[in-house]
Amino acid sequence: MMTSRLSLAKSIKRLLAAALTLLMFSAQAAEPQGMLETIHKHKTLASTSPDNGDLNPYAVVVAPVSSGVIEQGDVLVDNFNNISNLQGTGTTIVYYRPSTKETKLFAKVAQNLKDCPGGVGLSTAMTMLKSGWVIVGSTPSKDGTTKTKGDGCLLVFNSNGQHVATWAGPTINAPWGNMATIDRGDSAVLFISMAGFGLQGPEVVDPATRYPIITHQATVLRLELTIPEGQAPVLQSQTVIGDGFAQRPDRDNFLFGPTGLALGADDTLYVTNGIANEITAIPNASTRTDSAQTGRLVTKDGLLGWPLAMVMTPAGHLIVANGKNGQAVEINPITGKQIYAHWLDSNQAQSPPGNGDLFGLALTPDGKGIYYVEDDMNTLVLGAP
């Protein structure tokens, strides 16, 4: 009788242990693997087109501080096209204020700005520093194609939207990708992709493919700045830390080139290489004195579809916007695993849905949501839990 009771007790104990293990596994399975799985709401916040009719929003930047007309948490967006929808001719930056739901013009410059080779067409390369300065790239065109592309420049604005400086030179040619930034207050390091070297017009095609010619001359440039108190940033040094990235002109998208830049806590710079449909990694990004060329492969193909702008989540994952469809993809950069794809824009008017609609990305200040733009509607959108 005692043996039967012991056997029964052991059986019950084993069943309870198995049930507990099953519950633990179920709880683990229910836990989201990344941030994108928690995004359930998408809310259109504002039009990004100012009174002059500029179109095609590109860069998205959240203000880190209150300075001048900008309040901390404001969302700055620039425009790549003018009212005629010619690419490389947009000259405006707007800002959206979440607290009041207002959108206002922040800055506007002349399209034919003489200090900027080729003029002005504001790109995805934009940042706002803790000192209040806003720096944005120009990848200009006269006719909306790369046939008339100028080398472009970097424009510096104060926090009241006044243009105060222009940086140009032999290392700067079509500042294109979203900037990664190390901001120390009185100094800063910027990482920017340059996608214009050797780029021809879209009418020059490869006889074998009949597509515009792909070249491998795009670079990643590191700029080191000092920021004297009360004065504009001073460009101290420039170093090419990556090169050989693929680039190609395109009538619909202006150009394809390395677009997304995100800096990890271990000083690894991650870069989206859209034509190759991959993400690569450049180690020791802030200290290296040479080029890592295209870096180490992190992940390729799979859920990626012309990866564009990219951000890093608080958990250390990468979120990248696809250019070929309306999805964002979350990636573990350590393992290279593509975790999840999430529809940001499923507009059926494009094929595939959302094709060509996404570009800039930015995390919300709490790190739980993302701001993004929809180029087809010229709007700023919030994706949140």
Q: By CB neighbour count within 10 A (0-12 exposed, 13-18 middle, 19+ buried), where does 200 fall?
A: middle
Q: Report if pTM > 0.85.
A: yes
Binning pLDDT at 50, 70 and 90, where does residue 327 land?
Answer: very high
d(CA 318, CA 6): 54
Binning pLDDT at 50, 70 and 90, where does residue 6 land?
Answer: very low
d(CA 33, CA 18): 24
Least confident of 5-9, 156-160, 300-304: 5-9
235, two tokens: 């460009």
**What is the mean predicted confidence (pLDDT) over 181-191?**
98
Question: How does pLDDT run across 276-324, given as a tens digit for each residue?
Answer: 999 999 999 999 999 999 999 999 999 999 999 999 999 999 999 999 9
Binning pLDDT at 50, 70 and 90, where does residue 7 land?
Answer: low
Average pLDDT score over the chain = 93
d(CA 157, CA 161): 6
When computed from its CA atoms, the radius of gyration of the chain, rounded to whole angstroms, is 23
> DSSP string covering 41-70, please?
EEEEEEE---TT--EEEEEEEE-SS-BTTB
Q: Comparing 267 with 9, which gets the higher pLDDT?
A: 267
Quick one: which of 145, 358, 323, 177 has its CA closest to 250?
Answer: 145
Quick one: which of 294, 299, 250 has its CA closest to 277?
Answer: 299
Quick one: which of 281, 279, 309 has its CA closest to 293?
Answer: 281
Question: How does pLDDT run across 12-55, given as a tens digit for each residue?
Answer: 445 544 444 444 444 445 678 999 999 999 999 999 999 999 99
What pLDDT does 17 receive? 47
Q: Which residues contact 5 (CB under 8 A, 6 or more apart)?
A: none
**What is the mean predicted confidence (pLDDT) over 52-61?**
98
Question: What proportion of the chain, given as a percentage, has pLDDT over 70?
Answer: 92
Between strands 370-374 and 258-263, the pairing is unpaired
What pLDDT does 182 receive? 98
| Dihedral angle, C-alpha 67, 69, 74, 75, nearest 10 ° | -110
Please check the confidence at residue 3 and state whether its pLDDT lies above 70: no
Question: How does pLDDT run across 234-280, given as a tens digit for each residue?
Answer: 999 999 999 999 999 999 999 999 999 999 999 999 999 999 999 99
Quick one: which of 286, 311, 260 has its CA closest to 182?
Answer: 286
Q: Which residues contact 23 (CB under 8 A, 6 or more apart)?
A: none
Q: Comparing 130 with 21, which gets the higher pLDDT?
A: 130
Binning pLDDT at 50, 70 and 90, where does residue 351 land?
Answer: confident
Q: Which residues contact 57 (CB under 8 A, 6 or more apart)?
A: 48, 77, 78, 79, 80, 359, 360, 373, 375, 378, 379, 380
**How far from each other are the two terminal CA atoms of the chain, in whole angstroms?**
58
Q: By CB neighbour count within 10 A (0-12 exposed, 13-18 middle, 19+ buried), where does 110 fall?
A: exposed
Going along the chain from its start, the domains and CATH numbers come out as 39-384 (2.120.10.30)
Binning pLDDT at 50, 70 and 90, where does residue 347 land?
Answer: confident
